[in-house]
């Protein structure tokens, strides 16, 4: 079963079981996917699902930080439970060793001479790592190797 099929099946199950929290989170993702489909003419497929889920997780992680700084632990806990639900719809995350191996392979292929070539390396590794690793950490690893 593909990730998109799992997503749609889980949405129906959440409706039947009246799991309001899961249903709300899944509807937000579906809405984001439809918005991307309409605005940017992107096809609704697994890649779009992974992209939208990743963006939703990133937004929620930012919210969690803000809630904790404001002393609103109740909202932070609710948002953390939403992130747990969203993580079900991401592919298995790569280990740090696997990420480093892909980055090293890109370095060997491109042979960067300065930090100005970071864009070339990111362009090389992004298709292999998008959705499978935190791209912020990937960027930090590349900056560390370049600098």
CATH number for position 125: 1.10.10.410
Last residue of a domain, one of 70, 87, 104: 87
Specify whether the CB–CB gap between 68 and 77 falls below 8 A. Answer: no
pLDDT of residue 120: 87
C-alpha angle 125-43-61 in degrees, rounded to nearest 5: 55
Domain boundary among 47, 67, 87: 87
Range of the domain at 110: 96-146
Do 83 and 100 sit in the same domain of this protein? no
Q: Which CATH number do you get for residue 18?
A: 1.10.1510.10
Calpha distance 134→93 (Å, rounded): 9
Quote the pLDDT of residue 54: 87
pLDDT values of the chain reduced to their tens digit, one per residue, 147 residues: 788 899 999 999 999 999 999 999 999 999 999 999 999 888 888 888 988 998 999 999 999 999 999 999 999 999 999 999 999 888 888 888 888 899 889 888 888 888 888 888 888 888 888 878 888 888 888 888 887
Three-class SS of residue 130? strand
Q: In this structure, are 82 and 131 located in the same domain?
A: no
DSSP 90: S
pLDDT at res. 117: 84
Burial class (CB in 10 A: 0-12, 13-18, 19+), 89: buried
């Amino acid at each position: 079963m593909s990730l998109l099929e799992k997503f749609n099946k889980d949405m129906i199950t959440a409706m039947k079981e009246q799991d309001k929290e899961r249903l709300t989170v899944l509807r937000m993702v579906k809405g984001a996917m439809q918005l991307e489909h309409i605005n940017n003419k992107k096809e609704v497929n697994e890649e779009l699902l992974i992209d939208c889920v990743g963006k939703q997780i990133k937004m929620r992680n930012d919210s969690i930080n803000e809630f904790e700084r404001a002393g609103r632990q109740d909202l932070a806990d609710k948002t953390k439970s939403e992130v747990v639900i969203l993580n079900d719809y991401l592919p298995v995350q790569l280990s740090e060793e696997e990420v480093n191996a892909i980055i090293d392979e890109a370095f060997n292929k491109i042979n960067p001479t300065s930090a100005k070539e970071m864009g070339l390396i990111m362009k090389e590794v992004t298709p292999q790592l998008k959705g499978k690793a935190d791209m912020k950490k990937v960027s930090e690893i590349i900056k560390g190797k370049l600098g």
